[in-house]
């Protein structure tokens, strides 16, 4: 019988924390590291109360020592470079034959460079950004888009099943990140249209619940409509994935579009709409807070 791989998980944020917990629940030996000791302490208490055993490391290298698979899930390119290449980074502690799997949403160029750095050390690499938000991470229902070799993905796919509802190999290293860019571009466009639709329904004096019922069964239906129509109309914007992070992701998408010689006018426009919400102090609100830049208009009688 094959021995279960030893796991290291670097980054215990809104997404990474729940994902690492799912791995521990699945019976994997997990060593975890987070740059914020306070957040690490929160997860230590949460998992201890649940009876899970997770080893907490003092550095990324300490977590990665002896690991067969190292997962990273941090903020951006710079954060990833720090935990991989920085002082006490994981790459220096990983043995040849190990596998680095990055769940961070980064630039595609970052993924391609990491793949080269890993290959030079005999280490496999998969860029594996996720979609599904905090709820998807907590419920173990994430969609994962993967770049890398088929053999490396085959090694890690059974492990990622612990928190995935769908795992798709979209191409070589960097392809996962490019697919995530496409994902974020779609979400941004849908939320812009949804925001305007909600405001029109309000201004027209429509019953918002009935309007949702009427249009969600047809071609306008989307995940965002099903999960955010009611919360947007109620002014609730605390669902984990912040506008600050969406702007980071859209920045990567716009950079990649320019590199490929493509125009992305809708994405660029919605990115500026999000900048307006940031400027008004809404950077930490959920992406559906895009609607707040559109003032309510009340239907006048007569």
The predicted pLDDT at position 297 comes to: 77
- Note the pLDDT of residue 239: 83
pLDDT given for residue 295 in this prediction = 92
Exposed e or buried b for every residue in 92-123, given b needs 16+ CB within 10 A?
ebbeeebbbbbbbbbbbebbbbbbeebeeeeb
CA dihedral 134, 77, 80, 24 (to 10 degrees): 20
Residue 1 has what pLDDT? 41
Which alpha helices (DSSP H) does 15-103 contain, by range? Answer: 16-25, 37-50, 60-64, 77-85
Nearest 10 degrees: CA dihedral of 49, 25, 148, 108?
-30
pLDDT at 302: 46
Question: Rounded CA gap, 131 and 95, in Å?
Answer: 30
Intra-chain end-to-end CA distance of the chain, in Å: 78
- Go through the chain and tell me how many residues it has: 302
What per-residue confidence (pLDDT) applies to 209?
Answer: 96
Q: What is the pLDDT of residue 30?
A: 98
Domain 179-293 coded CATH 1.10.1040.10: yes
Q: What is the CB-side half-sphere exposure of residue 64 using CA atoms within 13 A?
A: 26
44, 65 contact by CB (below 8 A): no
Catalytic sites, residue numbers:
180
Predicted structure pTM score: 0.93
76, 248 contact by CB (below 8 A): yes
> What are the boundaries of each domain within the chain?
7-173, 179-293
Question: Exposed e or buried b for every residue in 129-151, given b needs 16+ CB within 10 A?
Answer: bbbbbbebbbebebbbbbbbbee
The second-level CATH assignment, the architecture, of 7-173 is: 3-Layer(aba) Sandwich (3.40)
What are the 10-residue block averages of pLDDT along the chain, 302 residues in total?
Answer: 86 96 97 94 95 96 98 97 95 97 97 98 98 94 98 98 98 98 97 98 96 97 96 92 95 97 98 98 97 83 50
Q: How far apart are CA 185 and CA 254, in angstroms?
A: 9
């Amino acid at each position: 019988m094959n021995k279960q791989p030893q796991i290291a998980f670097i980054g215990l944020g809104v997404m990474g924390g729940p994902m690492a917990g799912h791995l521990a629940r699945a019976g994997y030996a997990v060593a975890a590291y987070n740059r914020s000791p306070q957040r690490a302490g929160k997860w230590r208490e949460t998992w201890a109360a649940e009876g899970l055993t997770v080893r907490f490391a003092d550095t990324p290298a300490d977590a990665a020592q002896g690991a067969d698979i190292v997962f990273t899930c941090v903020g951006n390119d710079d954060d990833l470079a720090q935990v991989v290449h920085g002082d006490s980074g994981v790459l220096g502690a990983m043995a040849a034959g190990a596998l680095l799997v990055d769940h961070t949403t980064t630039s595609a160029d970052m993924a391609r460079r990491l793949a080269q750095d890993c290959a030079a050390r005999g280490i496999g690499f998969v860029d594996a950004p996720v979609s599904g938000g905090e709820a998807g991470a907590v419920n173990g229902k994430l969609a994962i888009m993967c770049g890398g070799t088929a053999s490396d993905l085959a090694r890690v796919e059974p492990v990622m099943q612990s928190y995935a509802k769908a795992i798709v190999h979209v191409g070589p290293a960097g392809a996962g990140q490019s697919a995530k860019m496409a994902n974020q571009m779609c979400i941004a466009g849908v939320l812009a249209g949804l925001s305007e639709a909600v405001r029109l329904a309000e201004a027209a004096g429509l019953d918002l619940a009935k309007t949702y019922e009427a249009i969600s069964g047809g071609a306008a239906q989307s995940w965002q409509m099903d999960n955010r129509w009611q919360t947007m109309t109620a002014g609730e914007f605390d669902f984990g994935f912040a506008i600050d992070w969406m702007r980071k992701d859209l920045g990567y998408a716009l950079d990649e579009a320019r590199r490929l010689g493509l125009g992305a006018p809708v994405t660029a426009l919605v990115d500026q709409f999000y900048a307006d919400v940031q400027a008004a102090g809404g950077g930490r609100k959920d992406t559906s807070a895009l609607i707040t830049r559109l003032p309510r208009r009340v239907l006048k009688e007569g």
